[in-house]
Amino acid sequence: MRFALAVLLLLVALPAQAQVDPKAKTMTTRELWEWAAKKSDVVLLGRVLAPVSEPMNDTTYAAYLGVQCVIARVEPIEWLKGKLDGEEIEVRHNWAVDRSDQRLRAIAGRDTTGAILFLKRRGANWYLLKLKPPLPPEGPPSDNPGLEWALSAGFVPVPQRKFKSLVDQLHAWYEKANVAAGEP
């Protein structure tokens, strides 16, 4: 009886994101970048400026969920999809359980590191869009677990020496995949 109860509790506790999508397949790196861009309202290469704010309650969610957020200022370098006005934009990064804002803090204020940021609008605010690819019936979600991990925070850190080559590659892929450029 205890075993059956333990198994039942384990099945109930499994996260919804771990559910298999029968239509999904293991994505290539290119497909993963394209998928992430299509899910986002705005994609840009930018520098995260220091300081990142201290954690605060994210009031766009119900208070009982305990969602926290930090606010970061981003200096856009190049727009890959959509465009926002201003020399600096304000983005929010939120979490409910794991303090994934530490990844954002690690690149804030570094002149030699930028990031490809995936943004989604919620109300009047722009959020880093945390992306989790669909789980296929067989195999991993993608052939690039490092990129998958980075996308789960809504941004991919990029060393300055790779800015041009990555941006050129993404522009080419997004053009072929009909990822719309222009206004979000």
22 part of a folded domain = yes
Expressed in percent and rounded to 5, the helix, strand and coil fractions of the chain are 35, 30, 40
Per the prediction, the chain carries an average pLDDT of 85
- What is the CATH classification number for the domain harbouring 120? 2.40.50.120
2 part of a folded domain = no
The residue among 178 and 180 whose pLDDT is bigger is: 178
60 part of a folded domain = yes
Residue 182 confidence (pLDDT) = 47
10 part of a folded domain = no
Residue 96 confidence (pLDDT) = 75
Residue 18 confidence (pLDDT) = 55
d(CA 56, CA 78): 29
pTM: 0.83
Residue 111 domain boundaries: 16-176
152 part of a folded domain = yes
Lowest-confidence region among 63-67, 89-93, 107-111: 63-67
153 part of a folded domain = yes
Q: Which residues pair with 122 in a beta bridge?
A: 125
Q: Average pLDDT, stretch 22-50?
A: 94
Q: Tokens for 163, please give them.
A: 């800015």
Kindly report the number of other CB atoms within 10 A of residue 155's CB atom.
28
CA dihedral 33, 41, 65, 93 (to 10 degrees): 70
User: What is the percent of the chain where pLDDT is above 70?
Assistant: 86
Residue 10 confidence (pLDDT) = 34
183 part of a folded domain = no
pLDDT in tens, 105-163: 999 999 999 999 999 999 889 999 999 998 888 888 999 999 999 999 999 999 999 99
Q: Average pLDDT, stretch 11-29?
A: 67
How many structural domains comprise the chain?
1
Residue 62 confidence (pLDDT) = 66
Residue 51 confidence (pLDDT) = 92
d(CA 134, CA 120): 19
182 part of a folded domain = no
* Confidence check: pLDDT of 183 > 80: no
